[in-house]
């Protein structure tokens, strides 16, 4: 897999509010927490010593409780907030060194923001709201109208192009905001809790919409949320913040399987594990495997010795080709056929990186355990029992750790 390049790099970033910032910084360097610093100096620690890289084309989710610093951080990326210290690089350009004109161009051309409360203009209709950024950039009327209509269609608002903003639902307004941001063709999209004001069903639809758009456009998306399930659903990588500091950065899987500390464990405790854990976490090695060139007697012997009624069949490259049952093998033996002549190919298959949630939808009409593949090669199988056991063990371990603490 091709390694992605960092499009944004953050080095030792801090944001302090108050007069005695130097004194506060010295306390923070010595390990004082934000409450102690506030009590002794009157300085509020919004961010302290944040270091991270955000890769080109990834969805990077920043999550934390209220006051953790996540919104302050995202507003530093477009210099709406000026850091107290530290640096932010966009493609190796220190944005703190940009002139006013360069910063204006950076905001117009390279980075766009989608707000929680939409930020739409009530006196404009849908298409003219979407056009606004292009209008500011002096894009010609025909070209900006074409681009706006294209983005409106992409976010699923076709037919509402000329509707007044006041007639739209919350979810529709958020789609307009997203279309407006995308119309400028930014390389980086900042999204500060954009779905938190929506009801659960609309929120789910918007999450799906964003995933669909990202699959097509591959923008660099920096997404802020306080919802751990939303973070794990959308994020390629996730950063958890606490009291202005980054506690852990990793993929959802890494955080589930290897949380950095007790705070992270507690934070992700409410996450739906089935939507985060993948097939590789719940699969087991199949007890019985036979090759396509094996004879029926060999298949029967393998199934009987392993005390199973079926076998998973692979070719010489370990590529999965199907299943043979004991009855099928016995019939093939009587008719002097090879294993490959008695194959059942109507078998449920998943990729090793598919989520457990995706796997579970297959069990309703699955006649056999689900085959787990990497490419075409068989890596394991998943039964209902293996899923339930793994998820139960995960919950049990967390409860155990809590009681021991």
pLDDT in tens, 191-201: 998 888 788 88
User: What's the pLDDT score for residue 392?
Assistant: 60
240, 256, 265, 359 from 269: Cα distances, Å: 13, 9, 6, 22
Tell whether the model's pLDDT for residue 128 goes beyond 60: yes
The percentage of the chain sitting over the pLDDT mark of 70, rounded to a whole number, equals 93
Q: How many C-beta atoms surround the C-beta of residue 45 within 10 A?
A: 29
Determine the Cα–Cα distance for residues 221 and 209; give it in Å rounded to an integer: 14
Position 405 pLDDT exceeds 60: no
pLDDT of residue 358: 81
Average model confidence (pLDDT) for the chain? 88
| Per-residue DSSP letter, 3 | P
Residue 88 confidence class, pLDDT cut points 50, 70, 90: very high
The reported pLDDT for the residue numbered 393 is 54
Q: Determine the pLDDT at residue 378.
A: 93
Mean pLDDT on 287-313: 91
Question: Residues 53-77: what's their mean pLDDT?
Answer: 94
Asked whether residue 1 carries a pLDDT value surpassing 90, the answer given is no
Lowest average pLDDT, out of 155-164, 182-191, 262-271, goes to: 262-271
- Tell me the average pLDDT across 47-59: 96
Confidence of residue 396 (pLDDT cuts 50, 70, 90): very low
Q: Is the pLDDT assigned to residue 186 strictly greater than 70?
A: yes
Higher local confidence (pLDDT), 22 or 276:
22
User: How sure is the predictor about 281, in pLDDT bands with cuts at 50, 70 and 90?
Assistant: confident
Listed in sequence order, the DSSP H helices in 169-247 are 170-183, 200-217, 228-234
Averaging pLDDT over each range in 142-151, 248-257, 274-283, 351-360, which range is the top one? 142-151
Q: What is the CA radius of gyration of the chain?
A: 27
Which pLDDT score is estimated for 311? 93
Q: Is the dihedral of CA 383, 387, 393, 396 positive or negative?
A: negative
- Distance, CA of 395 to CA of 381 (rounded, Å): 22
Three-class SS state of 179: helix
pLDDT for the residue 404? 40
Minimal CA–CA distance to 192: which of 70, 58, 56? Answer: 70
pLDDT tens for 165-174 read 999 988 899 8
What pLDDT does residue 3 have? Answer: 63
Segment 137-159 mean pLDDT: 92
Q: What is the pTM of this model?
A: 0.72
pLDDT at 403 over 50: no
Fold of 280-388: CBS-domain (3.10.580)
Q: Do residues 342 and 328 make contact, with C-beta atoms less than 8 angstroms apart? A: yes
């Amino acid at each position: 897999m091709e390694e992605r390049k960092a499009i944004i790099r953050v080095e030792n970033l801090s944001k302090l509010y108050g007069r005695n910032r130097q004194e506060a910084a010295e306390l923070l360097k010595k390990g004082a927490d934000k409450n102690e610093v506030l009590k002794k100096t009157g300085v509020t620690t919004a961010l302290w010593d944040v270091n991270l890289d955000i890769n080109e084309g990834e969805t990077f989710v920043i999550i934390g409780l209220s006051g953790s610093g996540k919104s302050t951080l995202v507003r530093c990326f477009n210099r709406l907030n000026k850091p107290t210290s530290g640096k932010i690089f966009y493609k190796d350009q220190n944005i703190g060194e940009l002139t006013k004109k360069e910063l204006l161009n950076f905001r117009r051309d390279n980075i766009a923001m989608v707000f929680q409360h939409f930020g739409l203009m009530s006196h404009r209709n849908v298409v003219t709201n979407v056009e606004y950024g292009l209008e500011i950039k002096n894009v010609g009327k025909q070209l900006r109208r074409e681009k706006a209509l294209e983005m409106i269609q992409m976010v699923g608002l076709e037919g509402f192009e000329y509707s007044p903003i006041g007639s739209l639902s919350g979810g529709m307004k958020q789609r307009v905001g997203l279309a407006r941001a995308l119309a400028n063709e930014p390389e980086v999209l900042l999204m500060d809790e954009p779905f938190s004001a929506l009801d659960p069903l609309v929120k789910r639809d918007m999450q799906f919409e964003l995933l669909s758009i990202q699959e097509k456009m591959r923008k660099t998306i920096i997404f802020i949320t306080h919802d751990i399930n939303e973070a794990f659903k959308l994020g390629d990588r996730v950063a958890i913040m606490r009291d202005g500091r980054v506690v852990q950065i990793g993929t959802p899987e890494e955080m589930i399987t290897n949380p950095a500390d007790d705070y992270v464990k507690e934070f992700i405790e409410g996450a739906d594990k089935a939507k985060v854990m993948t097939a590789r976490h719940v699969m087991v090695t199949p007890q019985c495997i036979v090759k396509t060139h094996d004879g029926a007697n060999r298949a029967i012997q393998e199934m009987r010795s392993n005390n199973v009624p079926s076998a998973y069949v692979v070719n010489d490259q370990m590529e999965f080709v199907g299943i043979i049952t004991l009855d099928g093998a016995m019939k093939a033996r009587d008719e002097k056929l090879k294993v490959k002549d008695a194959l059942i190919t109507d078998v449920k298959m998943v990729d090793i990186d598919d989520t457990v949630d995706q796997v579970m939808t297959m069990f309703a009409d699955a006649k056999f355990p689900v085959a787990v593949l990497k490419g075409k090669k068989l890596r394991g199988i998943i039964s209902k029992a293996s899923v339930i056991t793994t998820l139960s063990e995960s919950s049990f371990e967390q409860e155990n750790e809590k009681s021991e603490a």
